Structure 1
Amino acid sequence: MEIERNADTFYANAIPEGIALRPGDRVLVHGAPDHVAFGEHVVFQTRATVIRANALERWWTEWVAIFELTELYHCGFEPKEAA
């Protein structure tokens, strides 16, 4: 697990080793710190539980992701309004 908190970045990234994640799967991290100080970057190993999505959850996640992607297109190419 990797956690970073500073003026430019605030993120947590947990990727299980040796397990392929699919759309809709959830990762429950055990033993993660409840606080990271400002300006700190922490990398550590911990245990995690992967909760697999069923077929309907995978389909729904992929379907919703398509609409979220098209929303980015919509916002990125709108003409500017004249003032």
Structure 2
Amino acid sequence: MELTGWSVAAAVVVAGGAWYLMTRKSEVPCTVDLEMTHDHFHAHVDLKGVEVDPGDEVLVRNTPSRIAFGTTTTFESSAEVKRASWLKRQVIKLTGGTEIHELYEVGFEG
């Protein structure tokens, strides 16, 4: 079987795509702090012993979809952290300044 320039290029693209999409998942404990008062409206998550880097995804489990006005609550939960591959992290670092709108995609789903 003879390799042509196109077949080598296709193999490089497929390998690069697979490397870009590779992720590692881990389950970590976390503390969730929710507040909806006249002075503050926030949700903070403290992942125990994990630092999130560019490209990583975090899914916090078992969170309430609503809290009553005037309420402040803190509880323990767990989160799934999906680590971005090295290649994806580099692409995000290079293009991060042009994608500021990505910051607005944080929200609550109920």
Q: TM-score when scaled to structure 1? A: 0.65
Distance 2:38 2:45 in 1: 21
Q: 1:2 aligns with which of 21, 33, 36?
A: 33
| RMSD across aligned positions (CA) | 2.1
* Alignment CA distance shift 1:5-1:55 (3 Å): same
Note if 1:54 corresponds to 2:96. Answer: no
Gaps of 5+ in 2: 1-31, 101-110
What amino acid is aligned across from residue 7 of structure 1 in structure 2? H
User: Could you say what secondary structure the match of 2:93 adopts?
Assistant: helix
Offset at residue 29 of structure 1 (A):
0.8
What are the equivalent positions in structure 2 for 1:31-42 lying under 5 Å apart? 31-42=62-73
Question: Which structure shows the higher helix fraction?
Answer: 2
Distance 1:7 1:46 in 2: 26
Offset at residue 26 of structure 1 (A):
1.4
Gaps of 5+ in 1: 70-83
Counterpart in the other structure of 1:45: 76
* Alignment CA distance shift 1:55-1:31 (3 Å): same
Q: Kindly, what percent of the aligned residue pairs are identical?
A: 33
How many equivalent pairs are there? 69
Question: Which structure shows the higher strand fraction?
Answer: 2
